[in-house]
Amino acid sequence: MTDARSILGRLRHGATLGAEDLAWMAQGLADGTVSDAQAGAFAMGICAHGLDEAGRVALTLAMRDSGKVLGWNLGGPVLDKHSTGGVGDCVSLLLAPALAACGAWVPMISGRGLGHTGGTLDKLEAIPGLITQHDESRFRQIVHEAGCAIVGASADIAPADKRLYAVRDVTSTVDSLDLITASILSKKLAGGLDGLVLDVKTGSGAFMKDADTARALARALVDTANAAGCPTTAVISDMSQPLAPALGNALEVAEVVCVLNGEIRGPLVEISAALGGVLLANAGLAEDVQAGADAIDDAIRDGRAAERFGRMVAAMGGPVRFLENSARFLPEANVIREITARESGWVGAIDGEALGMAVVSLGGGRRVESDRVDPAVGLAGVVRLGEHVTRGQPLAVVHAARSEAADAAAAVVRNAITLQDSAPVDLPDLILERID
């Protein structure tokens, strides 16, 4: 007889769990048959002994199938993207409408920020009136109306993952490659995708600080997703500095608006084109990756992505003409102050995680899931690696609710940005590697 005790006993002794065992555990996690203690023991056993490739695929599929799996009939490929998290990473807000403008359908199920990285849903909710939690019927309507929708997962999407995710932090099993892979992919594959691209970040602002760790995660994700039947490619990208020069929900939305309105270019466009190019090529909407990247770039440059974004915002409850009047709608902090350099020099290093935690301390992120988020606070105008600054020149601009919070953030920013006497050499490329 299969039950939690027998499965946990075999796992404790290092036995290989079969697909039936993993499916039973996933269903038990979803319906409550598996207790919290048993869930913690399961997570610890996986972390200690690991799964082989077949086991990783089986766990991912079992967690996916523990709830609703969406199906689509839209006359075109259903595509999505996932990022492992960084600072100033608002790519989803740009990429989803750009993909829609290129003929794809993008029902993107996203998450909230936790720790030093921001959450896509939190960014969108900085737009007044916009709602990110919708039932399946409305979710489908938004996708039909705009070609893309960025929403939170409903309770019936991968419920086994919700249970397991809740125990991983308190059981010190967060860093298990097997559990990370199954957690990410079970939710994404439940979206009924025809293709997925993964932005696996490495550097000071990422969860994976070194390239080898990022590469191992990317390989596990790609192999598992492809074995599960979803064509998937990973792009390893640099997070040794914030992706956008703004950190904080409303500030990052404002940055995306500037890109969509053609006012600025930069890394957000570069990485969106790289990720989107892979998706369009894999889905047959572009001849190759470069042609796909060019198509994404064109959609951003000529305003088609902006039009899709505006449609999506309105369909999700936001202002009808948000892009034309974003400064009027986005919240503004009470205290806005420049953080100036106390010496001259070249920007040689940036501690992205420290900057992210400064935004959390301002109230712009969460230490625990129940924390409330202030959408107006954050950092803007953050200097870039290799930039020369003179004494008194701004390193960043802090947006805070109170003067004391601004002072504390200023101290963190000055410590997080290293100035040196000479220009740095060998600045990292944004796109480091692609894993098919």
Catalytic residue among 80, 89, 122, 238: 80
Other beta carbons within 10 Å of 284: 12
Catalytic residue among 64, 134, 187, 308: 187
Going through 140-204 in order, the beta strands assigned E by DSSP cover 148-152, 195-202
- Which backbone phi and psi does 276 adopt, to 5 degrees? -65, -35
Q: What are the Cα distances from residue 341, in Å, to 408, 409, 418, 422, 430?
A: 15, 14, 10, 16, 26
Token look-up 């930039």 returns 387
For the question of residue 162 being annotated catalytic, the response is no
CB 84, CB 188: distance < 8 Å: no
Q: What is the torsional sign of CA 320, 324, 328, 331?
A: positive
Catalytic residue among 68, 163, 168, 308: 168
Q: Which tokens sit at 228?
A: 């599960």
For the question of residue 68 being annotated catalytic, the response is no
Catalytic residue among 83, 181, 202, 204: 83
Catalytic residue among 56, 64, 81, 215: 81
For the question of residue 168 being annotated catalytic, the response is yes
For the question of residue 82 being annotated catalytic, the response is yes
DSSP codes, 294-321: HHHHHHHHTSHHHHHHHHHHHHTTS-TT
For the question of residue 210 being annotated catalytic, the response is no
For the question of residue 421 being annotated catalytic, the response is no
Q: What is the torsional sign of CA 159, 164, 167, 172?
A: negative
For the question of residue 188 being annotated catalytic, the response is yes
Tell how strand 195-202 and strand 378-380 pair up: unpaired
Catalytic residue among 120, 132, 237, 326: 120
Return all residues near 109 (Cβ < 8 A) that are at least 6 apart. 80, 151, 152, 153, 157, 187, 188, 190, 191
d(CA 83, CA 238): 12
Element (H, E) at 173: none
Catalytic residue among 64, 163, 188, 215: 188
Other beta carbons within 10 Å of 402: 14
Q: Residue 66: what residue type? A: S
For the question of residue 209 being annotated catalytic, the response is no
Catalytic residue among 183, 202, 204, 326: 183
d(CA 373, CA 360): 9
At residue 228's C-alpha, the angle toward residues 225 and 233, to 5°, is 25
> No. of H helices and E strands in the chain?
17, 12
For the question of residue 123 being annotated catalytic, the response is no
Catalytic annotation, residues: 80-83, 120, 168, 183, 187-188
